[in-house]
Amino acid sequence: MISAYLHSVSEVLAELHERGFYADCSGLVTDHRRLTGPRDVFLAVPGEKFDPRNLADDLLIEQRCGLVLVDYDDQRAYQSASVLPVLHLKTMLADLAFGYYETPSDAMTIIAVTGTNGKTTVTRWLAQALNHLGKKAAVIGTLGYGEPDQLKAHTGLTTPDVVGVHHLLHELRQHQFDTVCIEASSIGLEQRRLACVSIDVALFTNLSQDHLDYHGDMAAYGRSKMILASWPTLRLAVVNADDSFGMEFLANVQRRNIDCSAVGRADSAECQILSVAHQENGQRIELKINGASTQIDTSIIGEFNADNMALVFATLIRLGYDASQVKSALAEVTPAPGRMQHIEGEPAVVVDYAHTPDALEKTLLALRPFANKRQGKLWVVFGCGGDRDRSKRPLMGAAAADKADFVVVTSDNPRSEKPENILQEIVDGIDKARQDKLHVEVDRVRAIEFAVAKASAKDVVLLAGKGHESTQTIGAQVIAHSDVQCATSALGKRGAHA
C-alpha cells in the first residue's frame, strides 16, 4: 500500500529517472485513451466530469503504461508500487513537462500567434516563408503539428494541453526544427497550456466575437488574449494596429519596453498597407516599411489575407531578413486546407473555416470581386455550432444576408441542441425583406447539393464554417463529413446531369 507522496517537481523528476523513464524513450500522457504501453507515464489528474485516478491500478495491470502519477488525496490508496501520489500534481504539470522534456522551447525560436481569426493562416505562412529563407520551421495548431505541408495529427485542440505542447516541442527539437509557430487560442492561454514555453515573438491578428460561451463577454475574451502581451520571455510583438484591441495589446507591450511593430493602414504604422488591388489571378498588396515601398503579388485573395500577409512580412523584416528575400518567400506560401480552398468545377465552390460574424462577412467581401469578375451571383451555405455562443447566430444570419445574393442556412455540429432551433436563431437575424433569397435545410449534405445544383455556372458558392473538419457532431453521434468531399460529389452530380 502506498501512503507517502512526492512534494516537488525535482522529486518527481528524480523518481522518474531512477525508474528509467526519460524523454528520449518514454512520454508523459494526460489522457488514458492515448496510452501506448509500458514506456508511458500516465498523469492522473481529476477533471470536471471524470477522475482517472480510479483507473490507476487497472492501467498498470493491463500494461497500458509503466507508471502512474496521481494527484494526491489522503482518502485514496493504491495496490501497485508503480502508482506515485504527488502533492498538487495538477499545478505542477507545466514545470514537470518542461523539465522532463529537457526545456525544449529554450533551444528554439518560438512564435505565438493569437487573435480571433487568421491564426492558422499566419502560422502556416510564417513557417512556409521561414523554410524558404533557410530555417527549419514547424507549426503547432488547429490542423496538426510539424512541417506546414506535412502535418501530423494531435489532440484536435487549437492549442494542445500543456504536457502535450512540451512533448511536441521536444519531438520537433529532436527532428532538428529551430523555429516553431504556435497558435495561441484564448482558451489555451487562459488554461495555461503554454505555461513554461519560452515564447520569443507574439503576433496579434484581430479580436471579434467568438467563444463567449466560455469567456462570458468580450472583456473577458480580450483579457485572455492579453496574457500573451505580458509573457515573461517575449522580445518582439507584431500587432494589427487597425484593430482597436490591437492598440491595447500594443500599448501593453510598449509599457514593458519590448520591441514591437504596428501593422495597418494608418500613416503611423511601421508596416503600412498602402493598397490592395484585385488582379486576374489574385491580388497585389502594396506595403511601406522603413520608408520603402514594396509590392507583393499573390494568388491568395481577400483583404483580410492582405492583413495576414502584412503581419508575416513585418515579422520577417523584424527577424532580420531583407525585404527582397521576404517578398520572394511570400510568393511561395499557399492557403491552409479549408481556408479559401477552391474546388474545381462550375459553379466555383470555395470552402472556408469562417465561423464568426466578422470572419463570415470578410470572407464574403473577399469573394464578391471574384463573383463579379465571373458575372455571377454569390451564395453562402453555413450554420452555427450547438452548445456554443448563441448570441452570434443572428449576427451571422445578418452578415450572410447582407453580403451574399443567396443564403442557405444549415447545420454545423449541432451537438446536443435541436438543429431546427439553431437554424431559427440564425434566420431571426435576417431581415424579413431579404428572406426571399433564403433557403433552410437541416441536412448539411443536402444543403450543399441544393446550392451547387441551383447556382449558375458563373456563380460562386461559399461553404463556410467547417473548413478542414472531417466530422459532424449530431447529438451523441460523430459522423464522417467533409465539405470538400461533399462539394466535389455535388459538382460531379451536376456535371453528370449537364
Domains of the chain (ranges plus CATH)? 9-100 (3.40.1390.10), 104-330 (3.40.1190.10), 341-496 (3.90.190.20)
User: Which pLDDT does position 155 carry in this prediction?
Assistant: 66
pTM of the predicted model as reported, rounded to 2 decimal places: 0.90
Q: How far, in Å, CA of 78 to CA of 473, rounded? A: 38
Query: What per-residue confidence (pLDDT) applies to 3?
Result: 44
Name every residue whose Cβ is closer than 8 Å to that of residue 498 and which is 6 or more positions away in sequence: none
Rounded Cα distance between 316 and 125, Å, is 11
Quote the strand ranges of 91-225, DSSP E: 109-114, 137-141, 144-146, 179-183, 201-204
Q: Nearest 5 degrees, angle CA 6-CA 9-CA 10?
A: 90
Is the bond leading into 347 cis (omega within 30 degrees of zero)?
Answer: yes
How big is the chain, counted in residues?
A: 498
> Cell 447529438, residue?
475
Query: What is the residue whose three cell numbers read 492557403?
Result: 335
Q: DSSP string of 376-420?
A: --EEEEE---TTS-TTHHHHHHHHHHHH-SEEEE--S--BTS-HH
> Helix (H, G, I), strand (E, B), or coil: what is residue 96?
helix
Q: What pLDDT tens digit does each residue of the chain (498 aa) get?
A: 444 799 999 999 999 999 999 998 889 999 999 999 999 999 999 998 899 999 999 999 999 999 999 999 988 899 999 999 999 999 999 999 999 999 999 999 999 999 999 999 999 999 999 999 999 999 999 999 999 999 998 767 788 999 999 999 999 999 999 999 999 999 999 999 999 999 999 999 999 878 888 888 988 988 999 999 999 999 999 999 999 999 999 999 999 999 999 999 999 999 999 999 988 788 999 999 988 999 999 989 888 999 999 999 999 999 999 999 999 999 999 999 999 999 999 999 999 999 999 999 999 999 999 999 899 999 999 999 999 999 999 999 999 999 999 999 999 999 999 999 999 999 999 999 888 899 999 999 999 999 999 999 999 999 999 999 999 999 999 999 999 999 999 999 997 766
